[in-house]
Chain A
Amino acid sequence: MVWAKMKFPFEKRVKLAQGLWLLSWLAIVGGALNFCFGCFLKTEIRRRTEVMDNSNIHIVPNTLIVSGLAAIGINYFAGQICQDALDVGRFPRWKTFLKPYCCCAIIFTSLTLIGVILSFTMRSSLEGSLQVGLRNALRFYKDTDTPGRCFQKQTIDHLQMEFRCCGNNDYRDWFEVQWISNRYLDFSSKEVKDRIKSNVDGRYLLDGVPFSCCNPSSARPCIQYKLTNNSAHYNYEHQTEELNIFVRGCREALLSYYTALMNSIGAGVLLLFLVVLASLRYLQTSMEAVIGQENTEIETEGYLLEKNVSETIVEYLNPVMKLLLLNQVQDGLVKAEAGAQPE
């Protein structure tokens, strides 16, 4: 009782083999794209490690790289099998190879599927990681003299200019952080002393942002200090001014960038692999009926599974179970034999 049966006359078999050969080369290209994508994503994440808290996100590009490489190998063999499939003399070579090959192919296709699912589900983890990472980066902005943190200022400035964003959630995060180092504060000035005394931690907080928050599309020269003070600037109203500095937060900007990258991976590539796998299985089963026949141009049947789904799963798991339960079954048998003999 076969599952998903299809009839294959000779011409259809030929067409199937040719189509499959073409598809397998397309799938190799798809696998290569997958691999390149994984590498690109990995380097992009590496570039911004300073604003990410943990590196769990690396599992997504690693899965992509592995499945991409595996796809190239698997589909190369699929192409070779197709080339030999129509020649009945050469096809038996592959017979013993096909079953383990199909298992491998199924495993790696499911790996790709897992990769695609992971990239959707890791979004929230990425968001949390960025939240913590960016908060720390903002705090260490002023420490350009501390080894290990001296490049945070440059990193944040470049990030804000490139992604057109300001701060963590939005620009007001800068009001809560001291981003001007004490080295550049004149402690003899009354204004500085007042500000430092005005909060518990003794930090110099002001309603100003660094220059990298400035929006080049603004019609007026950038206002970065005394942002909330309308009277400090002519013809300026804090509530209605939108173009002066970037309003988007960097966490949101980075999140949408990485999500767009990960989503465009490809349900398309996955679909391609599934099609290749199914076609290969049909080709194999339809060719097996031809082997040993004199007339190679007869019509044969092809199917996906020899028995139905549940029976096939049981059949595949049996060897694995046997290996694990081997000793126990033997003991029982020995006891039964020993019990039978004295009688």
Chain B
Amino acid sequence: INYDPALHPFEVPREYTRALNATKLERVFAKPFLSSLDGHRDGVNCMAKHPKSLSTVLSGACDGEVKIWNLTKRQCVRTIQAHEGFVRGMCARFCGTSFFTVGDDKTVKQWKMESPEYGEEEEPIHTILGKTVYTGIDHHWKEAVFATCGHQVDIWDEQRTSPMCSLTWGFDSISSVKFNPIETYLLGSCASDRNIVLYDMRKSTPLKKVILNMRTNTLCWNPMEAFVFTAANEDYNLYSFDMRFLESPMMVHMDHVSAVLDVDYSPTGKEFVSASFDKSIRIFPVDKGHSREVYHTKRMQHVITVKWTSDNKYILCGSDEMNIRLWKANASEKLGVLAPREKAAMNYNQKLKEKFQYHPKIRRIAQHRHLPKSIFCQIKEQRIMREARRRKELNRRKHSKPGSMPFVSERKKHIVAVVK
């Protein structure tokens, strides 16, 4: 090939056209929905990933049933009636041999991951009877320790029936507790009195508390950045915090139009997925304030739980209407083995899309998403409300003494206080 630029003129317009085509094709091929796993007889309340097997996923429903699914077959391989009432939380042991569930019946149960042998009863390995309802559970990433939350955060040794230590700071029901995957002694919890509390397991002491405007439903630590976690809030937003600087979040992620119920990071730590009460899930880049993708189907109701699989390829979401849905993390990705030429073309297209992403025509196509009417209308409504608030503030500022109404950045607006 002769690379003489005189022989290949108009490189920018040609590449622009290619980028435009690539963008259009991306939208054409964007078919993210893969399958729906149905079998639960009540809303899916929690899910857990298997730490060693990509094809296994666990789910707990509001009727106390736990199901284990095989994703390659898209079948339920095992069903356990684990609790009476809700299965509030579940987590797998780091080695993948067993898993824990907590339910409304004030018990913590440990189950074998493998189905019982022929003739064996389906029963838990251990059952711990507590005094209060546990609302969440998470397992340590490296040791035989797990943490539950309810009225307090309890840290348990697997071998004992009473907690190693209980961490409290104020009295309110704590909705979720999560271990830090990198600095494994760190815990984060969020309570219904609108606060997020961090704990240190080594000293068995809380560290700091940050109070937000509204309640945080759950939080998730970034698996690649030890000090970053994202909180899913009732005020439709998600907040990414650096735990060293809790005074203001690193980023406010806004796009949902109803309370965000769950959040899970991609294993690469570059993106996270959030499930919302507005019947949609959204994918956010960690460094962007707005989502890059929104998934919804006609039948999907309030999404309660969401998980990003550990090979970074799929997303699972469990919703009110008893189904677990399997999505592609990258909507237009071609699954399966790619030929080298195909791969090169894909990379080239990706690069072109990146290069020309700021051009208005391309951006319009790339950003366009069809939304259900309810979400679409709510977005519009909220835009109007936001605009009105902004205008009001502007007017107030205009008619008050200069300096008496300071500008408050969006990031600081939502933080009420940081308690040491």
- The judgment on whether A and B are partners is no
